[in-house]
Structure 1
Amino acid sequence: MKPPRAGGRIPRLRREGGIPLRAVLPNTVTALALCSGLTAIRFAILGDWEVAVLMVLAAAVFDGLDGKIARLVRAESRFGAELDSLSDAISFGVAPALILYRWSLQYFGSQQGDSRFGWMIALLLALFCALRLARFNANIDREDQPHKSAGFLTGVPAPAGAILALTPLLLWNWTNELLASRASDVVPVSLIETVHHLLRLPAVIAPWTIFVAILMISSVATFAPKARIRQRIRFEALAALVVLVAALVSAPWPTLALLAIAYLATIPFSVRSYRRIRQQRATAAAPAAVPERREP
């Protein structure tokens, strides 16, 4: 033990560890995303499907903000990354799986609401979401990432996968509103009732859930968001943003469903675009052919 300094004062030991003050805000936003996912589970148990879906969407908004805030205040940390992965696993894996099970999959092959096959499919969605996040964390420090270096993501990200999985429920909420208002000016009510019934059938939801789960763990190249904070914004972008917000406020369910379907439609284009970039890189990396010399 070191002797005390002159004057009899013992030096105070500095505490190690802890979280920097600037990291409190992004971690708080991540915690809000986690709370939103847990609240979605609560409303799924209660059978309030609209609020449950809105809570998952709120978690997606918070998930998109926490990383940007962390980079803005320079508070990126391993702790924040681990907390974000835990929040994503619950909000975009467990919550959508439980919502779909309580809404439809519990009747898959059973009329009593306790289907084991439906529960297996719900588990598949939650498990594949966790596997995707584990793969992302395992490769976070890896230098050789072809998709990332080209500006793409590997597979469908967890928030987009959750919204895609809930797309039938979004459309079901829309048809439910149409039936409640008896909006038969354009589409007959009988057709709306038929679509409304088909959207909740376990035979429809089960393969759709499996399809989305496979997309999440696939190696398909998908477009990565490249939104950046700029000092000036183009008028066209501002007008599009205003139209999108107005559509979300006036007709949230069809707008969200169309956005999800539009994102799904971009996957073939992202695959083709990444394939083109990979071919260009292979051509640039190949050594130039040296012409053979002919002896006189």
Structure 2
Amino acid sequence: MGDEKQALLFKKISIRTILPNVVTLMAFMSGLTSIKFALAGKWELAVFAILLAGIFDGLDGTVARLLKSTSRFGAELDSLSDVVSFGVAPAVILYLWVLEGLDRLGWAVALIYAIAMALRLARFNAKLDDEDEPRKRLGFLTGVPAPAGATLLLMPLIVDFALEAVVVHNYGLVVAAYAVVVAVLMVSTIPTISLKAFRVPKAWFVPVMLIIGIVIAGLFVRTWLVLIVIAAAYLSSMPFSYLAYERRRKQKRIG
């Protein structure tokens, strides 16, 4: 019995098990760094750091699956990283940028968003192994996912960057109301698009690749404007996602 415990104690962990967690930690560090930039008033860098955290967040799961090194530890670490990078950090950025001017109301809005993110991630973890969850089974997500929620929350800053003038910054109450709407969308049960479940017909492969290339080129040339278009398209897709989900649900029930 003692030998077995000693063997477990000195059990070696391969680099392929560590690598996905390193990517997750990079997302975590990017989120924390965004707060540093916000405290220094470097708003564009703060938003870039959140977007970088989103890229790392998308990569860690992909790396884990490619290396066949998914683990419960990685899933828990990912959620903790998401709370900081997409919950706490964006709330702090928006508060320092405009909500601080609303005094207690502004802080309350920041708290509401951060709490909504924590609740969303707790719900996600609770249903992590539930393959029978209706939206997941039909290829949809439940509510707005963490990275998308953080990006939507920071849209007022991005609009301000695109206009190259302090316009949105002057509408604190409007921004506060918008932030609450984003928080509600995250904890809602609205079925939203899941890119993992998205399938492209073979005949559309080349046109879709061309569109992706145009979007990437646009991000290099007019980053903020393209992000606004993507966010608007995502929000506009929600009614269609709901209708598509209801149609598939009815077809599944009939079948």
Structure 1 letter corresponding to 2:233: A
Change beyond 3 A, Cα 1:49–1:200: farther
Determine if contact 2:157/2:168 at 8 Å carries over to the other structure: no
2:192 alignment partner, SS class: strand
The match for 2:136 is 148
Instruction: Mark the runs of 5 or more structure 1 residues left unpaired by the alignment.
Output: 3-9, 109-114, 180-195, 285-296
Residue of 235, 238, 252 corresponding to 1:281: 252
Instruction: Mark the runs of 5 or more structure 2 residues left unpaired by the alignment.
Output: none
Structure 2 letter corresponding to 1:257: I
Change beyond 3 A, Cα 1:19–1:123: farther
Determine if contact 2:95/2:106 at 8 Å carries over to the other structure: yes
Change beyond 3 A, Cα 1:18–1:218: farther
| CA deviation after TM superposition for structure 1 residue 203, in Å | 1.1
Structure 1 letter corresponding to 2:209: L
The match for 1:96 is 90
The match for 1:235 is 206
Q: Identity over aligned residues, as a percent?
A: 47
| CA deviation after TM superposition for structure 1 residue 174, in Å | 1.1
The match for 1:69 is 63
Distance 1:131 1:62 in 2: 22
C-alpha distance after superposition, 1:185-238 (max 9, x if no partner): xxxxxxxxxxx424541111100000000000000000101279xxx9943233
| CA deviation after TM superposition for structure 1 residue 141, in Å | 2.0
The match for 1:13 is 6
Distance 1:14 1:157 in 2: 40
Residue of 46, 62, 76 corresponding to 2:40: 46
Distance 1:35 1:12 in 2: 35
Distance 1:270 1:200 in 2: 34
Determine if contact 2:53/2:85 at 8 Å carries over to the other structure: yes
The root-mean-square deviation of aligned C-alpha atoms, in Å, is: 2.4
Residue of 221, 232, 236 corresponding to 2:191: 221
Change beyond 3 A, Cα 1:227–1:141: closer
Distance 2:57 2:249 in 1: 30
Distance 1:81 1:255 in 2: 31
Structure 1 letter corresponding to 2:174: V
Within 5 Å, which residues of 2 pair with 1:106-125?
106-108=100-102, 115-125=103-113
Structure 2 letter corresponding to 1:220: I
Residue of 145, 159, 162 corresponding to 1:157: 145
Change beyond 3 A, Cα 1:126–1:18: farther
The match for 1:34 is 28
Determine if contact 1:154/1:218 at 8 Å carries over to the other structure: yes
| CA deviation after TM superposition for structure 1 residue 278, in Å | 1.3
Determine if contact 1:168/1:200 at 8 Å carries over to the other structure: no
Give the number of the structure whose alpha-carbon radius of gyration is greater.
1
Distance 1:94 1:12 in 2: 40
